[in-house]
Amino acid sequence: MPSCTAHNQDFGKFDEKFRVYLQARESSSDALNEFKTTTLRGLNRPRSQGLVKSLASNSVPVTVGGQRTLAFKVNPHEQNLYFEKIIRGLYFHLYQRPLSGSVASISEDFIDPNFDYAGLREFTKQIFSDPNLTKEAEVANPDIFRYKYFRTEIEGREAFAIKILFYKGVEVVGFSRPNV
């Protein structure tokens, strides 16, 4: 998607941070493998010291299933910016034009305690389980990344919804809303 150099460089920081977040979920053997090989090697580079410090300062020890591990505190604004970039990029890929309006994303894997996930699940189930409404995109490696999308236009106003699945287990739902 067309973007200026400054935006690409700024988003590069988010790319690295969210690669760690997505892979650290260990939702598949592919995620764990990528984390143990490529991502850890990158985190050990001297230029990654700032990212490593940031990740460490935003992590807390937790016990899950009797195992001690770390949980990351994810900045909701950064989360939305990161996934908005992906959503806008996929829209551009699909329709060869920029997505207008605002974009919001949500994921049960990046918990916002003030959000009604049950309501979202019910709403998105209606949209994304209907093959007459949604299309599944063809992707190079569906074990790593896949998505379904829905687009409609009513009275000249467009709505776009997308469900992205990373590493077979981390699901992100995004919506666009036309500028009013």
For 119-165, the pLDDT digits (tens) are: 888 888 888 999 999 999 999 999 999 999 999 888 888 889 999 99
Structure tokens at 47: 């230029």
d(CA 14, CA 105): 15
pLDDT value for 70:
84
111, 136, 141, 106: which is closest to 121 by C-alpha?
106
d(CA 131, CA 46): 48
d(CA 149, CA 136): 7
pLDDT bucket at 7, cuts 50 / 70 / 90: low
d(CA 14, CA 82): 6
147, 142, 140, 180: which is closest to 161 by C-alpha?
147
pLDDT value for 110:
84
pLDDT in tens, 23-59: 988 778 999 999 999 999 999 999 999 999 999 999 9
User: pLDDT at residue 180 above 80?
Assistant: no
pLDDT value for 162:
97
pLDDT in tens, 78-125: 999 999 999 999 999 999 999 988 999 989 888 777 788 888 888 888
pLDDT value for 82:
94
Q: Domain coordinates of the chain in residue numbers?
A: 5-72, 95-177
Token look-up 């490529």 returns 38
- The residues, any chain, with a CB within 8 Å of residue 16's CB and separated by 6 or more, are 42, 48, 51
User: pLDDT at residue 12 above 80?
Assistant: no
Note whether 120 and 52 are within 8 A (CB).
Answer: no
pLDDT value for 126:
85
Select the more confidently predicted residue: 12 or 176: 176
Strand order in the sheet with 145-154: 102-106, 170-177, 157-166, 145-154, 135-136
